[in-house]
Amino acid sequence: KQEVTQIPAALSVPEGENLVLNCSFTDSAIYNLQWFRQDPGKGLTSLLLIQSSQREQTSGRLNASLDKSSGRSTLYIAASQPGDSATYLCAEGIQGAQKLVFGQGTRLTINP
Partner 1 sequence: DGGITQSPKYLFRKEGQNVTLSCEQNLNHDAMYWYRQDPGQGLRLIYYSQIVNDFQKGDIAEGYSVSREKKESFPLTVTSAQKNPTAFYLCASSRGAGAANVQFFGPGTRLTVL
List interacting residues with partner 1 (CB under 8 A).
4, 9, 31-32, 34, 36, 41-46, 49, 89, 91, 93-105
Asked if 43 and 32 count as a contact pair (C-beta separation under 8 A), the reply is no
Residues with Cβ within 8 Å of 25's Cβ and at least 6 positions away in sequence, in order, are 2, 3, 4, 5, 33, 71, 72, 73, 90, 92, 101
Give residue 34's identity as a one-letter amino acid code: Q
Nearer to partner 1, 77 or 89 (CB): 89
CB of 31 to partner 1, least distance (A): 4
Nearer to partner 1, 37 or 110 (CB): 37
CB of 21 to partner 1, least distance (A): 14
Name the helix (H) or strand (E) containing 68. Answer: none
Nearer to partner 1, 47 or 110 (CB): 47
CB of 6 to partner 1, least distance (A): 8
Q: What are the backbone dihedrals phi and psi of residue 65, each rounded to the nearest 5 degrees, phi first?
A: -120, 160
CB of 63 to partner 1, least distance (A): 19
